């Protein structure tokens, strides 16, 4: 009896994916296809606009971003609106994070009252549309507490996003191993010290990605305050259009500015993420 010859597997190539898929995924074909798809979309919009006789005036757009006149360099309305959007977003996000942390800690406190208050707040905020919440703050709480439209806007955004942020923080805190709590307890730390020195520093890396998403979300939802005429990016866009009737150009520009802002933020945070990446 002879041993059956084993096929020599060493150095044998793996089976390859089907030819069709290989061609479609090769770099030149993929890039070419992508360019064609994009060109079709742009061309389609352009033709559509031509057919309705739209008068493109892109040359008039840059002056709303910045201008050089006899008086020298000046930022345009869109740039100022962007600054305002950033300011409202940063302010709301900071407030939302503080409030969110408070709600998360209440929820985790183990006190029945704390949990009840936190859950009540969460359900209340999560089940009211952002626009209605804004109206409540501006038309109802505004007159009662003497809030101006700016304060009402910031508070609306902060309260709305604090509900979502508290869930992110809670998940981040829960993601830290229970052994860390026990180790901190066993050297006599108070709950505050445990959070401050042991738990929260380790939670940051769990929280950063969803918190970035939340910041992007907040920047985008800040556009809603244009309905009560707070002078931010979207309001500026509406104002320019009512003066110039260039709705296509201006809305494309405003959308691009929002995109640039949020993409920049995401890139910045991915650097931070690498910094906080600690292997366990």
198 touches 184 (CB < 8 A): yes
The binder of other proteins chosen from 5, 188, 267, 271 (CB under 8 A): 188
d(CA 203, CA 183): 16
55 near other proteins, rule: CB under 8 A? no
Q: Is 190 in the site for other proteins (CB under 8 A)?
A: yes
Q: Where are the beta strands (DSSP E) in the chain?
A: 66-69, 72-75
Question: How many of the other CB atoms lie within 10 Å of CB of 225?
Answer: 27
Quick one: which segment of 20-28, 117-125, 135-143, 191-199 binds other proteins (CB under 8 A)? 191-199
Using rule CB under 8 A, residue 174 touches other proteins: no
Pick the binder of other proteins from 26, 50, 174, 193 (CB under 8 A): 193
Work out whether 279 is an interface residue with other proteins (CB under 8 A): yes
The burial of 248, by beta-carbon neighbours within 10 Å (0-12 exposed, 13-18 middle, 19 or more buried), is given as middle
Q: Does residue 198 belong to the site contacting other proteins (CB under 8 A)? A: yes
Interface with other proteins, residue 185, by CB under 8 A: yes
3-state percent breakdown (helix, strand, coil) of the chain, nearest 5: 75, 5, 20
> Is 280 an interacting residue with respect to other proteins (CB under 8 A)?
yes
Cβ atoms 237, 81 nearer than 8 A: yes
Of 121 and 206, which has the nearer Cβ to other proteins? 206
CB of 197 to other proteins, least distance (A): 6
Please report whether residue 112 would count as binding other proteins according to CB under 8 A.
Answer: no
Picking from 274, 146, 156, the residue whose alpha carbon sits closest to that of residue 205 is 274
Selected from 120, 129, 201, 268, the binder of other proteins by CB under 8 A is 201
Cα–Cα distance for residue pair 240/251, rounded to 1 Å:
10
State the minimum distance, in angstroms, from the CB of residue 112 to other proteins. 16
- Can you read off the two tokens belonging to residue 174? 């829960």
Nearest Cα residue to 197 out of 178, 179, 186, 181: 181
Count other C-beta atoms under 10 Å from residue 132's C-beta. 10
Nearer to other proteins, 22 or 185 (CB): 185
- Which part of the chain contacts other proteins (CB under 8 A), choosing from 59-67, 181-189, 210-218, 250-258? 181-189
Task: Name the residue nearer to other proteins (CB basis): 176 or 241.
Answer: 176
* Residues that bind other proteins in the complex, under the rule CB under 8 A: 177, 179-180, 182-190, 193, 197-198, 201-202, 278-280
């Amino acid at each position: 009896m002879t041993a059956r010859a084993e096929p020599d597997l060493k150095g044998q190539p793996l089976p390859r994916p089907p030819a069709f898929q290989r061609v479609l995924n090769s770099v030149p074909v993929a890039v070419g296809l992508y360019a064609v798809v994009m060109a079709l979309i742009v061309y389609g919009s352009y033709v559509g606009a031509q057919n309705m006789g739209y008068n493109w005036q892109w040359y008039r757009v840059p002056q709303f971003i910045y201008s050089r006149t006899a008086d020298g360099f000046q930022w345009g309305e869109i740039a100022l609106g962007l600054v305002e959007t950033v300011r409202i977003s940063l302010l709301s996000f900071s407030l939302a994070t503080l409030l969110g942390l408070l709600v998360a800690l209440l929820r985790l406190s183990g006190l029945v009252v704390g949990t009840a208050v936190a859950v009540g707040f969460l359900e209340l905020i999560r089940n009211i549309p952002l626009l209605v919440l804004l109206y409540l703050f501006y038309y109802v709480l505004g007159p009662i507490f003497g809030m101006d439209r700016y304060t009402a806007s910031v508070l609306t955004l902060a309260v709305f996003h604090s509900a979502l942020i508290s869930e992110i923080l809670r998940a981040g805190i829960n993601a830290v191993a229970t052994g860390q709590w026990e180790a901190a307890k066993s050297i006599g730390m108070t709950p505050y010290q445990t959070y401050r020195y042991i738990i929260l520093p380790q939670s940051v890396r769990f929280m950063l990605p969803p918190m970035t998403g939340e910041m992007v979300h907040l920047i985008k939802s800040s556009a809603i305050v244009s309905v009560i005429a707070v002078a931010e990016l979207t309001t500026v866009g509406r104002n320019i259009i009512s003066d110039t009737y260039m709705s296509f150009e201006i809305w494309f520009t405003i959308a691009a500015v929002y995109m640039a802002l949020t993409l920049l933020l995401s890139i910045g945070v991915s650097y931070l993420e690498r910094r906080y990446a600690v292997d366990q």
